C-alpha cells in the first residue's frame, strides 16, 4: 500500500546538532485527523497529540522521548457497534548520526543491546508517531460485557443441530454402557 503520512514534522540533522535539545508540542488539526483515519483504516480519529524532545546524549547519539495521546473510534469485532478507544503511550527511541558498519558475520546475542537507528539528513517525527500509533491500535477491539454466542445457519424448516460437548470420555462411557 502506498500512502503519504499527513503528519509532516521534520527536523534536519543540522538543527539537531545546533540545538542539542529539540522540543516539540504537536496537536493534529481536523483535516489531518481525517487523513490519518483513512491511513490507519479506522472509523474516526478524534484527537492526536504528542509532546517531547530529541536531545543529544553523546557526540553522535540522540534520544527521542515523547508522550502520545490519541482518541479514536473503532467498530467492535462482535457487535459491529462503534466504540471509543483511548491510547496513552510513552515512546523512547535511540538515534545516531554515525554510520554503523558491521564487518563481522557472527551473530552475538546481547540482551542489553539498545537498537539505534541512523539519522541521515533529517528525522521525520511524524513517521515515528504514525508507526507507534499504528502498533498501539487494537487489532480486534471488543466492548466490555459482550460475548460471542455463535451463529447457527440452517435451511428454512430444518432444525439446527444440538450443541454437543466434545468429551471423549463421555463418548467412551456411552459406548461401554451400550455394550453391556
Cβ-Cβ contacts under 8 Å for 100 (sequence gap 6 or more): 116, 118
Q: Kind and range of the H or E element at 141?
A: none
Burial of 53 (0-12, 13-18, 19+ CB in 10 A): middle
Task: Report residue 54: phi and psi, to 5°.
Answer: -120, 115
- Which of 53, 91, 54 is CA-nearest to residue 69? 91
Distance (Å) of CA 150 to CA 23, 78, 144, 153, 163: 51, 10, 17, 10, 11
Task: Name the pTM for this structure.
Answer: 0.75
CB crowding 35-48: b at 16 or more within 10 Å, else e: bbbebbebeebeeb
- Cα-Cα-Cα-Cα torsion 166, 169, 171, 174, nearest 10 degrees, comes to -150
The C-alpha atoms of residue 97 and residue 61 are separated, in whole angstroms, by 7
- Which of 69, 68, 89, 83 is CA-nearest to residue 140? 83
Per-residue pLDDT of the chain (180 residues; tens, 9 = 90+): 456 888 989 999 899 888 889 999 999 999 999 999 999 999 999 999 999 999 999 888 999 999 999 999 999 998 889 999 999 999 999 998 887 666 566 666 666 667 788 888 999 999 999 999 999 999 999 888 888 777 777 778 777 766 666 777 877 887 777 776
Amino acid at each position: 500500500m502506498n500512502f503519504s503520512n499527513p503528519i509532516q514534522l521534520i527536523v534536519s540533522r543540522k538543527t539537531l546538532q545546533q540545538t542539542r535539545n529539540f522540543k516539540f508540542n504537536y496537536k493534529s488539526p481536523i483535516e489531518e485527523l481525517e487523513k490519518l483515519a483513512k491511513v490507519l483504516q479506522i472509523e474516526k480519529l478524534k484527537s492526536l497529540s504528542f509532546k517531547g524532545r530529541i536531545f543529544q546524549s553523546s557526540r553522535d547519539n540522540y534520544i527521542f522521548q515523547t508522550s502520545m495521546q490519541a482518541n479514536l473510534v473503532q467498530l467492535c469485532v462482535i457487535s459491529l457497534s462503534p466504540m471509543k478507544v483511548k491510547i496513552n503511550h510513552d515512546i523512547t527511541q535511540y538515534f545516531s548520526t554515525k554510520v554503523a558498519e558491521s564487518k563481522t558475520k557472527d551473530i552475538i546475542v546481547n540482551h542489553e543491546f539498545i537498537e539505534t537507528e541512523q539519522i541521515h539528513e533529517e528525522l521525520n517525527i511524524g513517521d515515528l508517531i504514525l508507526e507507534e500509533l499504528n502498533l498501539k491500535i487494537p487489532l480486534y477491539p471488543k466492548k466490555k460485557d459482550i460475548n460471542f454466542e455463535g451463529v447457527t445457519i440452517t435451511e428454512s424448516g430444518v432444525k439446527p443441530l444440538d450443541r454437543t460437548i466434545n468429551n471423549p470420555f463421555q463418548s467412551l462411557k456411552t459406548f461401554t454402557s451400550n455394550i453391556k
